[in-house]
Amino acid sequence: MPRESKANKTARAARIFAELGKLFPDAHCSLNYSNSLELLVATILSAQCTDERVNIVTADLFAKYPTLDAYLAATQEEFEQDIRSTGFYRNKAKNILAATARIADVYGGDVPQTMDELLTLGGVARKTANVVLGNAFGINEGFVVDTHVGRLSGRMKFTTETNPVKIERDMMAIRPQALWSLDSHLLVFHGRGHCTARRPDCETCPLAKKKLCPSAGKV
């Protein structure tokens, strides 16, 4: 089978994302937050954990730690118990407390707004940095690749890669930069609503019905 040209893939992606935009007009970040610090903490907690569980935990967590100073005063042991149900709580607690300390010591108390600076914080890799930049600051530095985005980008033949960084590169190449954050939300919503991991619902999927998905009926 001949390799699809970038122009054809870009055009096909435009049709697919236009359809997803109609299907999920309210697509947004599923994590609850009211400021950049809360989003950073919530995103770190979301590793290997559902957004629903994180939102349950942060409802109490953000009330207990309303400011950066509150995190700075927290002990490792107490914070571990505050986030225990999100899993990997020891490492997450260590990372969050290290990140907040660095924000205070190096960045004047403000969550940094560049990829390079965010990557210096505990528990922050490209996915977390992209979530914070795109949703808290409206900066489309990259394309968020979580499990849903990774799965759907492969099923839709946008990429053959399995490494998140390489998937991100391929998605950035075929979509307008201004839409990177929104596009990731659209894929997440579709991944939860129709194109699930175990059994994609191709029978009712608008993309399948309109013959836009190359994997329809084949997964």
- What are the residue numbers of the active site? 127, 146
Q: What Å distances lie between residue 189 and 16, 148, 192, 196, CA to CA?
A: 14, 8, 5, 10
Q: 46 φ, ψ to 5°?
A: -75, -10
**Pairwise CA distance, residues 153 & 13, whole Å:** 10
Indicate the burial class of 148 (C-beta count within 10 angstroms; 0-12, 13-18, 19 or more).
Answer: buried
Q: Closest by alpha carbon to 183, among 143, 131, 125?
A: 143
The position carrying tokens 């049709």 is 15
- At how many degrees (to 10) do helices 180-193 and 147-155 cross? 90
Per the document, the length of the chain is: 219
- 68/205 Cα distance (integer angstroms): 44
* CB-neighbour burial class of residue 156 (10 A; exposed 0-12, middle 13-18, buried 19+): buried
Instruction: Check if the beta carbon of residue 128 is closer than 8 Å to that of residue 119.
Output: no
Please report where in the chains the tokens 């349950």 appear, as a residue: 56
